[in-house]
C-alpha cells in the first residue's frame, strides 16, 4: 500500500501557493476567475467568499490568497448542474457520489422541485416554487415547527430580511453556522468584555510585541493572516503557537508576493515558540501561564498592570485565588506541557508590552470552550492587553460574513434591544422566546418535532454531528428549501415538498427593479464594507438571495405592512431599515447608505476596544475557573477503557468546510504532506506502539459514544505524525458520522468537533 505522506520541509506559501493558484484557475475557469481576482478585497470590488479575515488597511495591489483563488475558481466554474443533469440522475445515484463530485457538477441553474415518483429534481417556475414553499409553511401547526438555518456567506442584505421573515412568521428558530463555529467565542467575550467580537483591527498586528495563536491553522484557513504574522515576525515581534499538531504552515512562510522568498524557497520564521498542548489542554495551559505570571508578581516582578486591574476590572481576587490553588502537576497533566514550557510562554507574555491573542476552532469546538476563552481573557486582562494599540483579542472568524449575519439579527438567541428595534420599525411583536440552535434543530429533526427546514446557504446536515442520521431524518420533513449555488449532500434528502433554489453568487452582477445592486459584509475586525459582483450570472434563471428570501416571505406572509418587495428590489432600502432597527440595538450603523460607499467601508465601534465594559458588573470581568474533573474524555475512558483516543476533526488544505476540492495532481493537504486520499488518521508513534498498531496500517474507527448508538467509519490509513500521545486527527466531513450530538461545549452547545472519543480496530 502506498504511504500517503510526503514530508513537507519547505515554508508555507512560496512557489507551492503560486502553483496552487495557477492550478485553481486551470481546474475550472480561467477567464471568469482572472477577471474577478484583481478586484478581490479591493475597494469597489468583491469581498472574497473565503474567510472573514479583514482586508488590508493599506493600498495593496494584491490582497487575495491561493485559497481565495480556489474559492473564486469554483464559484465561477463553467460547469452546470442543469435540469438536464438532474433528469439523468436519481437522488439515490447521487447519494453514492463523493463530496467533491457533488461540488464538481457545477453551478445550479434553475429552481427545482423534488419528484418522488422518478426520484429526481425537476425544474419548476420561480412563482410556483415560492407558492409551494409558502403553502407548506402556512400548513404547519405552529411556527416553531420550522427552522431557518443560515450559513455565514450571505450578505447583510440577505440575512436581514431572512431573520425578519422568521420572526414575522413567528419563530426564533434560527440555527446558523456560528453555532458550529465561534459561538463559544461570542459568549465568552460577551460575559467578560461585554462584546462578543474581536477587540483589534488588522492595523494592530503592526504594533504588537507578541502574538499568541491558539488552535488555528492559518496557512490553510486564513493565509492572509500569515502575511501579517510574517511582517510582524520580520520586525521582531515574537509569535507563539499553541497547537497539538506540529503544523508546518505555522513554522515558516515564504510570501508568494515576495520574489526573493519565493525563488529561494527560504521563508520567514512564523512561530518563534511552538507549544504542543494536548487536545483540549489549552484551559490548563493558559491557567498555567496565569499562575506563572501571578507567581512572578508575588516574587516582586511588578508584571501586572495594577492600575488597569483596579480601574477597569472586577473579580481579580477570586480569579487569582482559584488559579493559585491549581497545582502544577495537574496543570502539566491536563495541558500535556511541562512546567518549564509554560513558564517560557509566561516569560514571553511578560516581556511583551503589547500582546495579541488570536484563536480559531482549536479552542471553540471543545466541551470547555467557553471556560478556555474566558481564561485567555483573564490572561490578557492581567497586563491590560485590551483596548490599546497592538493589544487585544481576536477570534478569527470563518465564513466571510458570519459576523455580519449575527449583527443584523440571524441568531436563535436575539437580544431584547434587537427585538424592540424590530417592533418599533415594523410594528409587530416578534417572538421573545429563544429558538432552536443547530444541535437543537438536529435533535428536533431526528425526534420529529421539527417539520420544515429552510437553508440560506450551507450544508446543514453534513456540517453538523451525526450526519447520516440527520440526513435520513430530513426525508421525513414536510418541507425542505435550500437556497444554494452548488449541489451538496444535504440537498439529496428532500422533504415531502423539496425545493432547491439556485442563487447568484457574490461575484455575479445583481440587477433588480431598483437597478444594479451591491451588498455589504462585516469582517472579523468589524469592518463593514461593500461587495459588488460584476460577472455574468451562471444562468439567466438565477435570482439573488435577497430576492429569493423576500419573495418567500411575501408569498408566505402576504402583503402585510412589511416592505418585502422594496427590500428585494433595492438593497439601499434594507440598509436603511437595518440602520433604523440598529439605532437602539447596535452602535455604528448611522448613515449606513452613505458610509458604505467609502472605499473601505466603516468600522463598527467595539466598546471593549474603547475600554467601555458593557458587562453585568460594568467592568471587564475576571472569571474564576478551576480545572474541570468531569470531561468528555474522562467519561469515555471510564466507560470504554484506556484505549479510547481523542479525535479532533480538522480541515485539509484543499477544502472549504464541507466543500472538498479535487486537485488533479492528487494534492490533498499540502503542508501536512497528504496526497491522493483523505482517509487518513494522524497518530503518534507512542500511541501506535501502545495499541499494537503500525504506520500505514488500515483501521476502522468506532465512536465511544455517550449515547450507546453505534457509529463507525472504516478503512482509515494510519499516518505517523508529531501529535500528542492519545490524540488523533482526521478530516471532516468524512469523520463527522462518528460524532454524537450529545458531545457539545457547555453553555454554547457548539458540537465538540475536536473532542470525539474513538476506538481504533485493525481493518479486516
Ligand X SMILES: Nc1nc2c(c(=O)[nH]1)N[C@H]1C(S)=C(S)[C@@H](COP(=O)(O)OP(=O)(O)OC[C@H]3O[C@@H](n4cnc5c(=O)[nH]c(N)nc54)[C@H](O)[C@@H]3O)O[C@H]1N2
Binding site for ligand X (CB under 6 A): 50-51, 67, 151, 153, 177, 180-181, 214-217, 220-222, 242-245, 247, 277, 279-280, 282, 360-362, 365, 398-399, 456-460, 463, 483-486, 488, 503, 505-506, 545, 648-651, 655-659, 732, 736, 753-754
Could you tell me if 221 and 360 are in contact, meaning their C-beta atoms sit under 8 angstroms apart? Answer: yes
Q: 189 touches which of ligand X, Mo ion, none (CB within 5 to 8 A by kind)?
A: none
Nine cell digits for residue 215: 488552535
CA distance 80 to 538: 8
Nearer Cβ to ligand X (526/531) = 531
> Distance between CA 382 and CA 530 in Å, rounded?
38
Q: How far is the CB of 68 from ligand X (least distance, A)?
A: 8
Q: Which is nearer to Mo ion, 181 or 408 (CB)?
A: 181
Grid coordinates of 342: 509554560
In the complex, least distance from residue 181 CB atom to Mo ion, rounded to whole angstroms: 3
CA distances, 124 to each of 43, 132, 212, 630 (Å)? 38, 10, 53, 53
Binding status of residue 186 toward Mo ion by CB under 5 A: no
245 binds, among Mo ion, ligand X, none (CB under 5 to 8 A by kind): ligand X
> Which of ligand X, Mo ion, none does 388 bind, CB closer than 5 to 8 A by kind?
none
Q: Rounded distance, CA 283 to CA 101, Å? A: 40
Least separation in angstroms between residue 127's CB and ligand X is 20
The answer for residues whose C-beta is within 8 angstroms of residue 692's C-beta and 6 or more apart is none
The item of Mo ion, ligand X, none sharing an interface with residue 754, based on CB under 5 to 8 Å by kind, is: ligand X
Q: Are 4 and 677 in contact (CB under 8 A)?
A: yes
- On whether the CB atoms of residues 276 and 337 are closer than 8 A, the answer is yes
Residue 342 vs 463, nearer CB to Mo ion: 463
Q: d(Cα 701, Cα 762) in Å, to the nearest integer? A: 9
Helix (H, G, I), strand (E, B) or coil at 268: strand
Q: Tell me if residue 488 falls in helix, strand or coil.
A: coil
Q: Round to the nearest angstrom and report the end-to-end CA distance of the chain.
A: 15
d(CA 629, CA 635): 10
Q: Which residue is nearest to Mo ion (CB)?
A: 398
Residue 648 touches which of ligand X, Mo ion, none (CB < 5 to 8 A by kind)? ligand X
In the complex, what is the shortest distance from the CB of residue 397 to Mo ion, in angstroms, rounded to a whole number? 7
C-alpha grid cell for residue 282? 489549552
For residue 46, the minimal CB distance to ligand X (Å) is 11
Which of 27, 56, 23 has its CA nearest to residue 40? Answer: 56
Q: Which does 485 bind (CB under 5 to 8 A by kind): ligand X, Mo ion, none?
A: ligand X
Q: Which is nearer to ligand X, 94 or 650 (CB)?
A: 650
> With respect to ligand X, which residue has the nearer C-beta, 233 or 649?
649
Of the two residues 196 and 384, which places its CB atom closer to ligand X in the complex? 196
Q: Which sign, positive or negative, has the C-alpha torsion 171, 483, 410, 188?
A: positive
Considering CB distances under 5 to 8 angstroms, the limit depending on partner class, which of Mo ion, ligand X, none binds residue 282? ligand X
CA atoms within 13 A on the CB side of 99: 19
Residue 498 main-chain phi, psi, to 5 deg: -120, 110
Pairing of strands 107-108, 80-81: parallel
Nearest by Cα to 214 from 338, 360, 92, 408:
360
The residues that bridge with 531 in the sheet, in sequence order, are 519
Can you tell me the distance from the alpha carbon of 741 to that of 752, in angstroms, rounded to the nearest whole number?
9
Contact partner at residue 651 from Mo ion, ligand X, none, CB < 5 to 8 Å by partner kind: ligand X
Q: Considering only CA atoms, which of 282, 413, 412 is closest in space to residue 360?
A: 282
Q: Which is nearer to ligand X, 323 or 360 (CB)?
A: 360
Find the shortest distance in angstroms from Cβ 462 to ligand X.
Answer: 7
Cβ proximity to Mo ion, 459 vs 684, nearer residue:
459
By beta-carbon proximity to Mo ion, the closer residue of 181 and 668 is 181
Output the smallest distance, CB 643 to ligand X, in A: 20
Binding-site partner at residue 247 among Mo ion, ligand X, none, CB < 5 to 8 Å by type = ligand X
Residues 654 and 408: their CA atoms lie apart, in Å, by 31
Nearer to ligand X, 245 or 304 (CB): 245
Q: How far is the CB of 745 from ligand X (least distance, A)?
A: 12
Q: Give the shortest CB-757-to-ligand X separation in angstroms.
A: 14
Give min distance, CB of 440 to ligand X, in A: 16
CB atoms within 10 A of CB 560: 13
The window from 173-181, 184-192, 625-633, 737-745 that contacts Mo ion (CB under 5 A) reads: 173-181
Nearer to ligand X, 303 or 728 (CB): 728
Q: Which does 221 bind (CB under 5 to 8 A by kind): Mo ion, ligand X, none?
A: ligand X
Cα separation of 269 and 429, whole Å? 56
Residues between 374 and 433 that touch Mo ion (CB under 5 A): 398
Residue 393 CB, nearest approach to Mo ion (Å): 18
Q: Is 504 in the site for Mo ion (CB under 5 A)?
A: no
Smallest separation (angstroms) from ligand X to the CB of 616: 29
Cell of 340: 518549564
Nearer to ligand X, 660 or 699 (CB): 660
Give yes or no for a contact between 705 and 740, defined as CB atoms under 8 angstroms apart.
Answer: yes
Note whether 93 and 118 are within 8 A (CB).
no
> Which option in Mo ion, ligand X, none does residue 271 bind, with CB closer than 5 to 8 A by kind?
none
Tell me: does residue 181 bind Mo ion (CB under 5 A): yes
**Footprint of Mo ion (CB under 5 A):** 181, 398
Amino acid at each position: 500500500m502506498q504511504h500517503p505522506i510526503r514530508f513537507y520541509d519547505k515554508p508555507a506559501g512560496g512557489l507551492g501557493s503560486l502553483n496552487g493558484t495557477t492550478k485553481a484557475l486551470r481546474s475550472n475557469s480561467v477567464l471568469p476567475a482572472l477577471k474577478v481576482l484583481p478586484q478581490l478585497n479591493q475597494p469597489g470590488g468583491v469581498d472574497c467568499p473565503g474567510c472573514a479575515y479583514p482586508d488590508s488597511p493599506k493600498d495593496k495591489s494584491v490582497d487575495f490568497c491561493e485559497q481565495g483563488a480556489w474559492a473564486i475558481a469554483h464559484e465561477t466554474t463553467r460547469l452546470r448542474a442543469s435540469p438536464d443533469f438532474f433528469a439523468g440522475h436519481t437522488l439515490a445515484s447521487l447519494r453514492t457520489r463523493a463530496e467533491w463530485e457533488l461540488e464538481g457538477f457545477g453551478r445550479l441553474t434553475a429552481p427545482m422541485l423534488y419528484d418522488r415518483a422518478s426520484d429526481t429534481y425537476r425544474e419548476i417556475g420561480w412563482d410556483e416554487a415560492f407558492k409551494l414553499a409558502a403553502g407548506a409553511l402556512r400548513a404547519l401547526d405552529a411556527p416553531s415547527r420550522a427552522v431557518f438555518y443560515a450559513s455565514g456567506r450571505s450578505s447583510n442584505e440577505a440575512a436581514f430580511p431572512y431573520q425578519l421573515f422568521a420572526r414575522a412568521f413567528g419563530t426564533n428558530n434560527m440555527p446558523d453556522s456560528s453555532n458550529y463555529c465561534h459561538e463559544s467565542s461570542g459568549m465568552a467575550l460577551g460575559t467578560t468584555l461585554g462584546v462578543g467580537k474581536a477587540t483589534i483591527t488588522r492595523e494592530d498586528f503592526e504594533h504588537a510585541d507578541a502574538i499568541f495563536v491558539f488552535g488555528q491553522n492559518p496557512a490553510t484557513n486564513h493565509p492572509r493572516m500569515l502575511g501579517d504574522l510574517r511582517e510582524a515576525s520580520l520586525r521582531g515581534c515574537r509569535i507563539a503557537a499553541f497547537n497539538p499538531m506540529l503544523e508546518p504552515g505555522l513554522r515558516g512562510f515564504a510570501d508568494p508576493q515576495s520574489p526573493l522568498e519565493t525563488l529561494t524557497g527560504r521563508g520567514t520564521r512564523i512561530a518563534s515558540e511552538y507549544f504542543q498542548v494536548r487536545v483540549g489542554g489549552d484551559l490548563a495551559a493558559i491557567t498555567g501561564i496565569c499562575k506563572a505570571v501571578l507567581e512572578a508578581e508575588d516574587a516582586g516582578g511588578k508584571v501586572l498592570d495594577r492600575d488597569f486591574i483596579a480601574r477597569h476590572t472586577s473579580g481579580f481576587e477570586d480569579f487569582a485565588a482559584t488559579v493559585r490553588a491549581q497545582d502544577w502537576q495537574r496543570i502539566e497533566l491536563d495541558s500535556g506541557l511541562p512546567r518549564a514550557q509554560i513558564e517560557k510562554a509566561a516569560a514571553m507574555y511578560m516581556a511583551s508590552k503589547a500582546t495579541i491573542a488570536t484563536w480559531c476552532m482549536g479552542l471553540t469546538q471543545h466541551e470547555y470552550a467557553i471556560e478556555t476563552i474566558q481564561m485567555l481573557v483573564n490572561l490578557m486582562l492581567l497586563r491590560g492587553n485590551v483596548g490599546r494599540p497592538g493589544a487585544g483579542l481576536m477570534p478569527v472568524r470563518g465564513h466571510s460574513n458570519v459576523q455580519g449575519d449575527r449583527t443584523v439579527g440571524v441568531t436563535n438567541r436575539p437580544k431584547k434591544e434587537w427585538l424592540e428595534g424590530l417592533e418599533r420599525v415594523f410594528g409587530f411583536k416578534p417572538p421573545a422566546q429563544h429558538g432552536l440552535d443547530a444541535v437543537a434543530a438536529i435533535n428536533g429533526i431526528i425526534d420529529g418535532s421539527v417539520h420544515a427546514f429552510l437553508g440560506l446557504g450551507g450544508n446543514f446536515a453534513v456540517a453538523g454531528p451525526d450526519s447520516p442520521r440527520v440526513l435520513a431524518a430530513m426525508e421525513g420533513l414536510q418541507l425542505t428549501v435550500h437556497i444554494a449555488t452548488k449541489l451538496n449532500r444535504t440537498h439529496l434528502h428532500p422533504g415531502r415538498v423539496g425545493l432547491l433554489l439556485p442563487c447568484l453568487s457574490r461575484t455575479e452582477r445583481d440587477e433588480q427593479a431598483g437597478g444594479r445592486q451591491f451588498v455589504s459584509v462585516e469582517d472579523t475586525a468589524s469592518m463593514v464594507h461593500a461587495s459588488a459582483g460584476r460577472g455574468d450570472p451562471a444562468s439567466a434563471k438565477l435570482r439573488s438571495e435577497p430576492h429569493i428570501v423576500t419573495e418567500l416571505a411575501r408569498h408566505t406572509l402576504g402583503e402585510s405592512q412589511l416592505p418585502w418587495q422594496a427590500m428585494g428590489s433595492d438593497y439601499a432600502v434594507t440598509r436603511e431599515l437595518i440602520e433604523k432597527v440598529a439605532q437602539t440595538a447596535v452602535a455604528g450603523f448611522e448613515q449606513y447608505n452613505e458610509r458604505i460607499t467609502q472605499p473601505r467601508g466603516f468600522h463598527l465601534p467595539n466598546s471593549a476596544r474603547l475600554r467601555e465594559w458593557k458587562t453585568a458588573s460594568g467592568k471587564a470581568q475576571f472569571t474564576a475557573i478551576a480545572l474541570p474533573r468531569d470531561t468528555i474524555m474522562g467519561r469515555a475512558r471510564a466507560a470504554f477503557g484506556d484505549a479510547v483516543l481523542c479525535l479532533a476533526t480538522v480541515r485539509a488544505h484543499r477544502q472549504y468546510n464541507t466543500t472538498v476540492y479535487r486537485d488533479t495532481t492528487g494534492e490533498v493537504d499540502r503542508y501536512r504532506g497528504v496526497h491522493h486520499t483523505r482517509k487518513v488518521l494522524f497518530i503518534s508513534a507512542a500511541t501506535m506502539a501502545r495499541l499494537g498498531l503500525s504506520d500505514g496500517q488500515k483501521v476502522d474507527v468506532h465512536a465511544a459514544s455517550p449515547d450507546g448508538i453505534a457509529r463507525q467509519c472504516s478503512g482509515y490509513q494510519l499516518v505517523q505524525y508529531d501529535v500528542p500521545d492519545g490524540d488523533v486527527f482526521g478530516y471532516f466531513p468524512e469523520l463527522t458520522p462518528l460524532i454524537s450530538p450529545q458531545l457539545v461545549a457547555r453553555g454554547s452547545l457548539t458540537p465538540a468537533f475536536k473532542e470525539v472519543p474513538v476506538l481504533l480496530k485493525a481493518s479486516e
